[in-house]
Amino acid sequence: MHKFLVIISYLVYKEEMTMSRTEIYEYRKRLRILLDSIEKHAFFCAYQDDLIQGVASKVFRRCGKKNCKCENDDERHGPYLVVQLYENKKQRQVSLRKEERQLWQMVKNYQTQFDSLLKLKKTCTELCDEVSKIIKRRVKKMEELRCKKI
């Protein structure tokens, strides 16, 4: 009798607990996409480029001279390379010369890599959520099976 219950339990588990092949395929496909994304973003964060923490931008300015083309709203001088830095919880804006473009690029590299880090964190969270869905789905089926037995 005990062997019979084990065999029935196994068959019920096999039939009731597993997801369809299509469902499994869709979950695996989604997990593969997330894992590929994690690999891409993690690899990108490992570049050797030098970084400077800040915000790089290009600005156009008015000089304030009378009869200059920048007096109109349509035209301004620039673009000038500007880096916004935070020191002692205060924002400071630094204008760079043309020959300091490499410093500006280091700040751009920081921004790009920080964005990649945020995407990496988001993708890891999505991966954990997907795995959690799979586990919850399988646990739910076990609870349904117990209700059917009672």
Residue ranges per structural domain of the chain? 2-149
Q: What's the confidence (pLDDT) of residue 121?
A: 92
The sign of the dihedral angle between the CA atoms of 123, 125, 126, 131 is: positive
CA triple 31-32-37, angle to 5 deg: 100
Q: What is the mean pLDDT of residues 41-67?
A: 81
Q: What's the confidence (pLDDT) of residue 112?
A: 86
6/107: higher pLDDT: 107
What are 65-95's pLDDT values in tens digits?
888 888 777 788 888 889 988 888 888 888 8
What are 92-124's pLDDT values in tens digits?
888 888 888 888 888 888 888 888 889 989 999
